[in-house]
Structure 1
Amino acid sequence: MEQQKLPNSTLILVFGIISIVTCCCYGIIGLIFGVIALILAPKASKLYFENTELYTGYQNVKTGKILAIIGIILNLLFLAYMIWAVSYFGWDALQDPELLRERMEEFGQ
């Protein structure tokens, strides 16, 4: 019997990569892609382990799952940083470079 590609294996890998690449987009976009990849990975793994001789591409699922976990961690860290920056400096200071410079000087003292 001919082996076929595991469904969603490439998609999981791509979503894992996107979750890392987009971690600086306020931490939300990459978080969404990482969570989707983590939701799809167990389904693909279960399908692969039911019939290992029928499918190829499990390595993409494992790699995508690892990248999604890394991406989620990076996105959560960046999101926490953004929440801290907005709460400490204020949203108006983050939009005005001169005001931000003044508040950062106050923060340094």
Structure 2
Amino acid sequence: MKEKLPNSTLILVFGILSIIGCCCYGLLGIIFGILAIVLANKAKELYYANPELYMGYENVKTGRILGIIGLILSVLSFVSGLIFFFTAGGLDAMWEMQREIYGNGF
């Protein structure tokens, strides 16, 4: 009987979280993307050593792809946030822009 690859579901969840995390200025997406890719590479090595022993490789492949996409999007989001931060005049300018957009309730 085949057993499930270790962390296959976790890799898929981390891949999904890496895409969602790109909306949080990219920092969370970078962390989850790296975790998904590293864990997927370990699971991939384990699977290729004995493919007849394991199931769940589809989750690993999907999680790895999502992790790569999430990492790319998160790095772009993080870099654009840094560029905006330094070109807009720092934290005070960002807070002022937030107040203009959302009003005084922010």
Q: TM-score range by the shorter chain?
A: 0.7 to 0.9
Would you say how many aligned residue pairs link Structure 1 and Structure 2? 100
Amino acid at match of 2:93: A
Question: Could you tell me the percent identity over the aligned residues?
Answer: 53
Structure 2: where are the runs of 5+ without partners?
102-106
Rounded to whole Å, the distance in 2 between the matches of 1:98 and 1:65 is: 35
Moved over 2 A (4+): 97-101
TM-superposed CA distance for 1:49, in Å, is 1.1
Alignment partner of 1:92 is 2:92: yes
Query: Over aligned residues, Cα RMSD in angstroms?
Result: 1.6
Structure 1 residues 44-72: Cα deviation after superposition (integer angstroms, max 9, x where no partner)? 01111111111100011111110000000
TM-score, normalisation: structure 1 = 0.86
More helix by share: 2
Structure 1: where are the runs of 5+ without partners?
102-109
The residue matched to 2:24 in structure 1 has which SS? coil
Amino acid at match of 1:19: S
Partner of 2:42: 43
TM-score, normalisation: structure 2 = 0.88
